Structure 1
Amino acid sequence: MTVRARMTLLYGGLFTVITLGVLGAVLWIQERIVDGRVQDVPFGVPLSGIPCDQRAAEQSCRKVPFEGPLSFPEEASKRVVEPERFQESLVGSQRLVILVAIAVIVVLAFAVSWWLTGRLLRPLHRITGTARRLSLTTLHERIALDGPQDELKQLADTFDAMLDRLERAVDSQRRFVANASHELRTPLAVQRTAIEVGLADPSPERLAVVRAEMLRNTRRSERLIDGLLVLAQGERGLDGRALVDLEAVVGQVVGDHLPLAERGGVAVAAATRPVTVAGDEVLLTRMVANLVENAIRHNRPGGDVRVELSEEGLVVRNTGPVVPPGKVDELFEPFRRLAGDRTGPGGGAGLGLSIVAAIVHAHDGTVRATADPAGGLSVAVALP
């Protein structure tokens, strides 16, 4: 049974029960009133209309002569002089009228309920129709329901908001696949070109250059595949949690990246205090490593990187190029670099901050980046 039919039966049935109850009470009250009124009415006929042989002894025809049955026949006389029959006839006619009224009311109640429920459920049919038409090629459609801010309007707005998120997710997935395909295809194309050109003149010097180029592109492919695996693991969530000494993790990561900072002429300073979180130590180490490595690589000669760990969370600041505030949130998307998609001059694939965001979200934390007007970026991570 459809919702419309159930609502029609419910509202029509309730209306019918209420109507029957009210009309039944009215009929009972009318019967009581008629009983009282009939007892007070003096029933009778003029004495001249009663035959002499039917009169009482004191009602002599000499006093009031009999005028015959012209105005009051015998049957009418009998009906009029019996109040009980008059009362039953009156109540019966009232009962008939009320029963007819009940039948009409019941039919109208169900008909109006069917029509009203159809109008009320029309937006729901619109939502259902939009949902049935949805596919990957029609995610741009919206219900855009007008009218008062009732439950159906809220449902339609929620459905539209869900479609917005779904469309963004699908676009992001398509962009991710395209970028990943490009990043994976580029090293292979470079390796193929190096092999074809190098083997055309296989001199020892040329072979050495080809070997170095192939090793560099192989390492790039390995880093990309490793980053994609970590990103997938972070987005999937944690299989288990254990207590992790975040201070020790930060100290180890900063020490491992000191040679990279020295080669770039960047000073690294760390201010930490004991902090323990529940999570995956490998992923948390990768998160801190990405933040520190990004802060060193995207810096300027003579710049500095500051790592601060407290109960409020982990903050990594650097002095690098100026980042437009409108581009900050985009840096957390996969394959997104400050110089543009897949075109950055660095050796990375643009997965650093997206991996950080995935790991933080897997640990039920929050990550926020803020651009320094003088240049550089400040990334704050809060973990429960």
Structure 2
Amino acid sequence: MNLLLSSALGVSVSVSGRAPQAPGAQGEVDQEVVFQGDLQLQYEVLRYQWVATAVIIAALTVVSVILGWWLAGRVLRPIHSVTSTARRLSLSNLHERIAMQGPDDELKELADTFDDMLDRLERSTDAQRRFAANASHELKTPLALDRALLQVAFGELPEELLEARDELLASNSRQHRLIDGLLMLAAAEHTLTNAEPVDLADLARRVLCEYPGATVDLSPALTSGDPVLVERLIANLVENAEKYNDQRRFIAVRTGTGDGGAVVTVENTGQEIAHEVVPSLFEPFRRLTGDRTESVSGAGLGLSIVAAITRVHGGTIDAVPRTGGGLAVTVRLPDRGSA
């Protein structure tokens, strides 16, 4: 538009410059003065027009950006709600739903479909947990009965049968620990319903009563959670450190605060551990030695229970091989204010 105006003004000035004037020198001077005035007027008009255009374009740009941001926010707000809910979900809060309100458009249909999927997933997860808990309870009774029968019936045996009796009792004990571990694992992966203030230092002192040779540095470490599960977490870490120790028998337990959370660290000496092996130690039924059936020292659930309890409390776990052998496991739980 400015270019058209510039062209029109140029034609007008050109025509004005060629207009007939009075003959003589004075007429030529007057014509030149008029022509220069027209050129100046053309320049002023065009300059004003370009400045006005730039100001209008800038204002429209700002208004369009603000209006676009507002409209995009209104349109994308339901998508943000779906995304934040999906990011926040875990096994401990599958009960949450989007429950979007508004017209029956595509976005509400997407949110309702997501809620339906969460319903099915929650029912399936609850059914699996109930099955694991019920199966574990049902198995503990016959195991206890078998152990009692073994102890009573085989109380006095010939020397050649004592080894077989001891093997049977050891196998029974291992199966009992396995069932207890499955029960604890099922409970640890449930929604946290019993949260109260706890001090990791107090729970560690209670656990360490059975390990008088451990090196301790227990500073207050306040958090919120289930005291039974958190104590089990520390006990499993210490038991694992004791079980896989070597002749040095070094165990160190530290509690304190750091990075906005309550921290407990358990270190032990032992065999050399490769960095790539460490993540697999937190999987169920995984042991450092690699066997799944021959060891009667444990069920291979200790560290997986630690990981499950840490997860349900919203914490993090970090394990690092120690120089010279052994492992250092650090669990960080949210402080009392954010837990």
Provide TM-score, normalisation by structure 2.
Answer: 0.50
Provide TM-score, normalisation by structure 1.
Answer: 0.44
Determine which structure has more spread, i.e. the larger CA radius of gyration. Answer: 1
Higher relative contact order (CA 8 A, sep 6+): 2
